[in-house]
Structures are given as structure tokens and as C-alpha cells.
Amino acid sequence: MNESEEPESFDKAEFQLEESKIDEIYSLVSQQFQILDYYMEHGTLTFHIQTDQNSKEAFLKLYRKLKPIGLLPVLRQEGEREILRVIEKPPAKKSNIKTNLALFLVTLVTTFFTGYLISRSYGWLDPIFGGLTFMITIMAIVGIHEMGHKIAAWKYEVDATFPYFIPGPPPPYGIGTFGAVIMQKSPPPNRDSLFDIGASGPFAGFIMSLIITIVGLILSPSIFGLPKGPFMPLPILFVFIARLLGLVGVEKPGNLIILHPIAFSGIIGMIVTMLNLLPVGTLDGGHIARSITKGKGRTLLVILSILFVLLTGFYWLIIIILFIALYKHPGPLDDISSLSRGRKLLIPVILAILILCGVMVRTPSHELRISSQPLIHVPFKIYYADSKYYSNQTEWAGILAEGVYVISVPTNFSCNGQMYIFLHWNDGDTNSTKTIFLCRNIALIAFYKAVTNSSSTFYK
């Protein structure tokens, strides 16, 4: 996540300029732009200028000349006029690297404990090893994401802090971290730089999430088992990768995948990428949206973001969206020059990443209930794969994945010295082996009749 410390507006900055300084600034501005008029407005040196097709590069040259002397240019379209103001560079707050380090170490502990608890519930994976792998991979995703922002900020000479990692509670209350943020201490010069700073983090985190997801799925064992739900919703991209690995023969035989902690990190990385790409406020997606729309349609983007998270099922994100939306994005210093063509071509890619990471696939599941009349403990088998079955006895109920199952009960059996013969199911079917498609809640009742013939064959 990339947060910004600059004010909501650059237009209200006031400071005193000496006459010699005004002459120097006038000279610098005139070297890059045609000045139509200039004046002091509320203590701010203001220029009415004429821009051309080279104004983006001209502004950057002016920016680089003013920044060393503690000044910043701000270019805005005001009605039919192009207005350039020269303001004092906001003082940057000093960062204490010890705070970054302390938060980093605490987050290492909380993410390790999260992986430890996840692995301990498996029974087949050493909890310490699982904790370490989860800690390393989730910190790699978050760290690479934030360093993407840091490198882009460094490229455009935008002052920014190192990442502040945010520790969080372990399961069942959290995943050990709330991610990380870097704080911008100066505004980006133009819409291209704003786009790059916003998009660099999600792109870097997305690629790392892909790599970690593939590794995690390869390490995740597949087993045969009755597919009892409910099931955790998964990003559509994660499901696609899992099926693709199955097609190329990477997955082992089995109808269930037990997710390795590394694969779980991949899921979290995708969800974090989705969250950051929402076009709201000073989220990464907010930076991208601001570079595209010049701040127009802000309310519409907030509404679309809320609708999107409603579709994904992450209802708690609505609170975050509404909170972040309270802060108006200040935009870049040069808000007149357009976004480059190459960056515009990346917009569909960003939307695709948002959808692939945010749209969740939920395995449909329904209740299957198996009982008998009279109320006796009738043994049964549920075949869920070729020659694979689950056995139990009535009364029984479970939430199973939607699909085809074969239910088998004995044609006759003995219970407490009394023999029973199968008559029919509650739908009238007289075959003791029944195939069903579980697409809704289904209650099956096997009807039996008590008999006295002791020579009948017993079910085993």
C-alpha cells in the first residue's frame, strides 16, 4: 500500500518571496513556458502560461531546477486558463528506521505463529517448518509489493519512507499481518509518475504471488476423501492455476487438495493485490485512477468499488473503502499533461489483475441427509470417486460439494438380533444403490421391513 502525506490541495500554500527570488523563478519558468501573465495570489507566485505538446518534458525540467532550491511547481487547468504556481516544498518529516525495523521483527513473529497454527491443524506438516515457510513467503509478497513502490518513487525523485510492516493477530482472528505501507513525503511530478508509483507495487506483488502460488500448489498433497464443506472461497486465478497444474500432471492423484502454507500465502497475496487495486483514495488503485481521470468521477469509483467487494464477498472491505474515500487525492504536481500511451495500454491489464485476484470461486455445497425408517442404525456407503467411498450409519447428515454421488445401503442386515429387508427409498426407488446429483439439499430415507427369516444373507 502506498500512502501520501501531501496536502489535499497545493493551491493554498503561502510563503514570502524576495524580489530577487521572484526574478530567478520568472527566468526559470520563462525558459520552459510562454508566460502570458504573472502575479502574486494569496502570497503565491502565479503564472498564466501557454503549454504545447512538449509541456510534459518542460515541466519536468522546471521541477528539477526548482526542487534543489526548496520550491515546487504546480500546474493546473482552471477554466480556459493554464495556471502554474510556485510553492514552497513541504518540509519532510524525519523517519526513524528503528520503527521500521521493530515493526518488521514483530510482523515476522506474528506471521510465523500464523503459519505454525495452520500447519499444526494439518497433522502431516511440521508446524515449525510450516510457520517458517508461511512467514517467509507472505513477507516476501508484502515486501516486494512495497519495494516496487519504493523503487518507482526513487526513480522519479519522490521522497518516500521504507516500508512500515503492520503486524496483525494470528488465526482465528487474522493472518498475522495487515500488510505494509510506505509514506510519500513529496508529491509525484506528473501523471505518468503517479501511475507508475501506484501500479509498481501491485504488479510486483502480483508476480510474486503467482510464483509462490505455483510452488505452494506443487507442494500441496492431494488425497481422496469425502468432499465435506463448506469450502473456502478462492480467487479465480488460484483455481485456474490449480487446474492447469493438474492438466500438466503436476498434481498427485486425489479429489481434494490440502493447501500447503505457501499456497495459502499465494491466496493472501492475490487478495492483498485486489484490495490495493481498488480505485479509492490513496490506495494504489486510487493513485492509478487519479492519474487517469484527473480526479473526476470520484464518487462513481467509490460506488463501483463497493459493488465489486459485495460481489467478491469481502463485506468488511466496505468500511475501509468508505474511510479511505474521505481523503481527496491531491494529484500530481503537473495535472495537465496526459498519461502516456503505453501506460494507457496497461489499464486493461490492471483491470484483469483486479478481476482475477478479486473474483472468488466458491465451491457449491449442499446438505445430504441419510436416515432410515424405522429409526435403526443402517450402514451405508457414499461413493465419491472411482472405487472410493465413505462409510457410516444412519442417522447422518453432512455438507458436501455439489456433484454426483452413489449411495448404497444393504438389501438386508441384522440389528440387535432383528433382521431387516430393504423396501425402497422415500422417492419410491426400490434399488438399494442410488445415484444422485447433489445440486440442492437432499434428504434420503431408506425404508426397511423387519422379518423373521434368519436364513437371509447379511450385509458386510
| Residues 77-100: tens digit of each pLDDT | 998 899 999 998 877 777 788 999
Answer whether 130's CB lies under 8 Å from 119's CB: yes
171, pLDDT greater than 70: yes
CA distance 202 to 208: 10
Contact 372, 378 (CB under 8 A): yes
DSSP characters for 370-404? EEEES----EEEEEEETTEEEEEESSEEEEEESEE
Q: Residues 256, 261, 266, 270: what is their CA dihedral angle, to the nearest 10 degrees? A: 90
pLDDT exceeds cutoff 70 at 381: yes
pLDDT score at 15: 54
pLDDT confidence tier of residue 195, bands split at 50, 70 and 90:
very high
One of 3.30.390.50, 3.30.420.40, 2.130.10.10, 2.60.40.10 is the CATH number of 365-451, namely: 2.60.40.10
What's the pLDDT at 2? 61
Residue bearing cell 499465494: 266
Q: Provide the β-strand partners of residue 35.
A: 49
User: pLDDT above 90 covers what percent of the chain?
Assistant: 63
Percent of the chain at pLDDT > 70 equals: 93
Asked if residue 89 lies in contact with residue 67, where contact means CB atoms within 8 angstroms, the answer is yes
pLDDT band at 459 (very low <50, low <70, confident <90, very high): very low
pLDDT at 432 over 60: yes
| Predicted pLDDT of residue 36 | 93
Per-residue pLDDT at 49:
93
Which residues are within 8 A (CB) of 156 and not within 5 positions of it... i.e. 6 or more apart?
188, 189, 193, 196, 197
Domain extent listing, the chain: 2-88, 97-361, 365-451
CA-nearest of 276, 98, 317 to 179 is: 276
What is d(CA 138, CA 421) in angstroms, rounded to the nearest whole number?
58
For residues 149-154, average pLDDT: 94
Q: Would you place residue 457 in the very low, low, confident or very high pLDDT band (cuts 50, 70, 90)?
A: very low
Q: Report whether 372 contacts 392 (CB < 8 A).
A: no
Separation CA 395–CA 378 (nearest Å)? 8
For residue 296, which amino acid is it?
A: K
d(CA 323, CA 317): 10
pLDDT class of 360 with cuts at 50, 70, 90:
very high
Place 11 in a pLDDT band, splitting at 50, 70 and 90: low
Q: Which residues contact 429 (CB under 8 A, 6 or more apart)?
A: none
Res. 248: pLDDT tops 80: no
pLDDT surpasses 60 at 8: no
Q: Which of 374, 423, 358, 141 is nearest to 265 (CA)?
A: 141
* Per-residue cell: 408: 448404497
Decide which of 449 and 327 is more confident: 449
**Cα–Cα distance for residue pair 191/291, rounded to 1 Å:** 5
The residues facing 369 across adjacent strands are 397, 443
pLDDT at residue 164 above 80? yes
What is the Cα–Cα distance from 40 to 48, expressed in whole angstroms? Answer: 11
For residue 35, report the phi and psi dihedrals to the nearest 5 degrees: -90, 125
Q: How high is the pLDDT of residue 205?
A: 95
For 2-88, give the CATH class: alpha beta
Phi and psi at residue 93, to the nearest 5° = -70, 140
Cell 498564466 locates to: 48
Sort strands 442-451 and 365-373 into parallel, antiparallel or unpaired.
Answer: parallel
Query: What is 179-209 written as a DSSP string?
Result: EEEEEESS--SBHHHHHHHHHHHHHHHHHHH
